[in-house]
Amino acid sequence: MVRIAETEQICKVTGADSINRTDRFAIHGTDLGILWDGGDGRVFVLFGDTFGEGWGGDGGGPNSADWRCNVLAFSTTTDLAAGLTLDGVVTRPDGTAAQVIPRDERRDEVTVIPNSGLAVDGLQVVHYMSVRQWGPPGKWTTNYSGLAVSRDGVTWDKPWSARWINRAERDDPFQMCALAREGDHLYLFGTTNGRHGDAYLARTAIPHLLDASSYEYFDGRGWSRDEFAAAPVIPGPVGELSVAYDVHLGQWLAMHLDDPGGAILLRSADRLTGPWSPGQVAVPGHQYPGLYGGYLHPWALDGPDVYYLMSQWGPYNVFLMRSRLEQ
């Protein structure tokens, strides 16, 4: 089992007072920071709800302060010990950050939030959720989740074929998902909407990744075509899940928020199907109030240190963290 020896904060990544001065991109407040290797020499960094000039603090509110559902930045930083530098963003005509994954033309969609990203054979793939309504802290409902795709990282499509509809009971187990690839399969770790559910596992062959009907779901013994037959592989509460293979440790890592416990946890496993180790506290909430996220950096999985992005609600910005791991 992997153990956490120590954790420290490296830098503030976003905000006017960050190392990137992201106010120059009209990013005054933002969160998440989904990380993946774009396969073109860049790491893609996809943020959630983003606010510009006039932002009043915390999460803000839709339709205020130059709100965008999501914005995409790029990084080529290899020396993460010195911080995470953003080289640029997908821009609007004025040079500030553009929204990349579009909203639907529907009244019951509050925002479009990214959950995970992966480059697959030259295609950029992002799992996102269509949020129907925000509820009490840590709880919300979705209309559906899906995969958005892009060839250039600038223009994104949301194919109808790659969607998991949240039925009337609002209990679909694949609404907030993390992507992983092993061999010729794409894997999808999913939870119900909100931060309190277990995590489940699905997979499909790479050529069929945009066909939701092609996915099969791990039921604890084998693979089923019924997504509601899926068995928990990581016990809840699981929020903002990130999964990656650590070549230094020779194990899969899963980082996620424990919302009721107020901490970001780390787990490890030999196989994606588990068993996964008990969650260890990587970042305690009493040191970093309002923390969430925990997205592993794909270029920091070959040594004793892992780097990841953490959000805090109060400053409503993103921070680079480092944890030293031992076996």
Mean pLDDT of the 267-291 span: 97
Dihedral pair phi/psi, residue 278, rounded to 5°: -60, 150
Separation CA 230–CA 219 (nearest Å): 4
| Average pLDDT over every residue of 44-60 | 87
Q: What is the rounded average pLDDT of the residues 115-131?
A: 97
Query: Given pLDDT bands bounded at 50, 70 and 90, which one contains residue 55?
Result: confident
Amino acid at 324: R
The pLDDT value given to residue 2: 87
- Give the residue from 250, 262, 294, 256 showing the smallest Cα distance to 278: 256
- Whether 61 has a pLDDT exceeding 70, the answer reads no
pLDDT band at 64 (very low <50, low <70, confident <90, very high): confident
Tell me what pLDDT residue 327 has: 84
Q: For all residues of the chain together, what is the average pLDDT?
A: 96
Pairwise CA distance, residues 131 & 20, whole Å:
29
pLDDT band at 56 (very low <50, low <70, confident <90, very high): confident
**% pLDDT > 70, the chain:** 98
Q: Residue range 86-96: average pLDDT?
A: 98
Note the pTM of the prediction, 2 decimals: 0.96
Does domain 3-326 match CATH 3.30.230.70? no
pLDDT one-digit tens code per residue, 9-40: 999 999 999 999 999 999 999 999 999 999 99
Share of the chain above pLDDT 90, in %: 94
CB-based contact 129:104 (threshold 8 Å): no
Q: Is the pLDDT of residue 301 over 80?
A: yes
Q: What is the arithmetic mean of pLDDT over 260-273?
A: 97
pLDDT for residue 63: 65
Tell me how far the alpha carbon of residue 220 is from its chain's centroid. 25
Taking CA atoms, 118 is separated from 88, 157, 261, 276, 323, in Å, by 19, 15, 29, 22, 23
Residue 58 confidence (pLDDT):
66
Model confidence at 247, in pLDDT bands (50, 70, 90)? very high
